[in-house]
Structure 1
């Protein structure tokens, strides 16, 4: 089951700002555990899609069985630091963009599209050089058509 988080059944909670952002926070269940998704509810323009052909998944596995599959407070705080560092870097470069984030069922994933694996890893290492080591795994997949992200959009469409 897919649903949007909001103030009533079936209503999407959208992040509002003066720029009219289209950010969505949604929820679905995986093995009876809630999974929270965060994404912009539309594909970028064709130029961006062509420029960023690699799906890049930053995964952080954690033990969340005592917290309904969600990360414990201390781990979640570190995850937020990581995500904010990557967001800051994203605002300073055009080699990658955020597609979506998921948290739940003992797994946090930060998913991006990037130009090349080497470019992303160079940026990541530079961004995190003064951070404590994070228990993350990074995987790259060629996805020139952004089919992974299109699947997310389709999964939440009209929910």
Structure 2
């Protein structure tokens, strides 16, 4: 249940073609789930239709953790590993046109890195290559067909309120 939505600041996103002179449209937002804060990072607009049609699969990389001592947020050591994971994926993104980041969610004992991808097998190959030099991350990856980007549209609508 969403109790409160708020904007915390500006950041950059990737799910759009960028004009280098354009101001960033990314935000960091917060809402509450089970009385615990959830922090969201995302670009605050839909990309153009050519991007949407290119990436039909919602891809969710999930990391469950014990946040009982930090109000649902990850312990420092776990958060440092999560930053490594995000960095590895971000680096791969700059060399790939098979996926685009749409949002990240942290809180209530769960971290999710959410992308739209072209094909599941290509994403998994890229992911395995990006992570091969690291110790195993305790992640789960799920794919959903979402040609209309319904999941992301819901987030935009929720935060627009």
TM-score (norm 2): 0.91
Q: Give, in whole Å, the separation in 1 of the partners of 2:136 and 2:21.
A: 36
| 2:77 counterpart of 1:74 | yes
CA positional deviation for 1:15 = 2.9
How far off is 1:14 after superposition? 1.7
| Structure 1 segments unaligned to the other structure (5+ residues) | 6-12
1:125 maps to 2:128: yes
Q: What value does the CA root-mean-square deviation take over the aligned residues?
A: 1.3
Deviation at 1:18, TM superposition (A): 5.8
1:38 equivalenced with 2:41 (yes/no): yes
Q: Does 1:14 align with 2:17?
A: no
Cα distance between partner residues in 1 of 2:87 and 2:95? 13
1:114 aligns with 2:117: yes
Superimposed CA distance per residue, residues 62-93 of structure 1 (whole angstroms, 9 cap, x where no aligned partner): 00011000000000000001001101111111
**Cα distance in 1 for residues equivalent to 2:11 and 2:107:** 21
| Superposed displacement of residue 40, structure 1 | 0.3
**2:16 counterpart residue number:** none
Which of these residues, 79, 87, 104, is aligned with residue 90 of structure 2?
A: 87
Match of residue 4, structure 1, among 4, 7, 15: 7
Give 1:136's aligned residue.
139
* CA distance in 2 between partners of 1:54 and 1:82 (Å): 21
**TM norm structure 1:** 0.92
Deviations 1:1-26 (A, max 9, x none): 11111xxxxxxx22389641111000
Aligned length: 151
Separation of aligned partners in 1, 2:37 and 2:21: 31
Counterpart position of 2:30: 27
